[in-house]
Amino acid sequence: MKNTKVLSDPIIIMLMLLLVVVSCGVTAYLLLSSSSGSPRQSGALTQRDFDRLPFDQLDAEYSCINFAHEREGQPLVQPVVDELSTRFESKRGIFLIFLDAKLRAGKNQLRDVQVYCYIDPATYEVTYYKSIGGESGILGQIKDLFAHFGE
């Protein structure tokens, strides 16, 4: 009977409720503050501590792939970094990232695209983006038609 008396004490119940409310509030605050949308906390780089491990070319490549996914509205299929062209340009202080990839062009069709990104390592942001390729016009449709009959 002593146990039920302790649990029915209004002060203990209020303290327990306060503890639950504070715990929920701290958890919500931490979740909201970590998803602030800053470049440092976006995409594949959310777990990185850039104060301990600096932003490098691999991070720039991930940023470019994630940005292309957001811009194109679909994920890149088989993105391959062009290692001969991708580099850090020291005069401008940016990473130049060049990708060859494929995008879905239809139900069972893929189109080749080349993606170009400039990444600022100070802000971790894509400062320039361009995708080229994927003959999606009449010429691309004709090629797809002949490719289909060739199978």
In this structure, what token pair is assigned to residue 10?
Answer: 């209004």
Among the ranges given (7-16, 32-41, 117-126), the one the predictor scored with the smallest mean pLDDT: 32-41
Contact by Cβ (8 Å): 8, 16? no
Give yes or no for a contact between 118 and 128, defined as CB atoms under 8 angstroms apart.
yes
Joined together, the tokens standing for residue 14 give: 């209020």
pLDDT digits (tens, 9 = 90+) for 64-100: 999 998 888 888 888 999 999 999 999 999 999 999 9
Which spans in 38-121 are helix H? 57-72
Its pTM stands at: 0.58
Summarize pLDDT for 23-67 with one digit per residue, the tens.
877 777 766 654 433 343 345 566 667 778 888 899 899 999 999
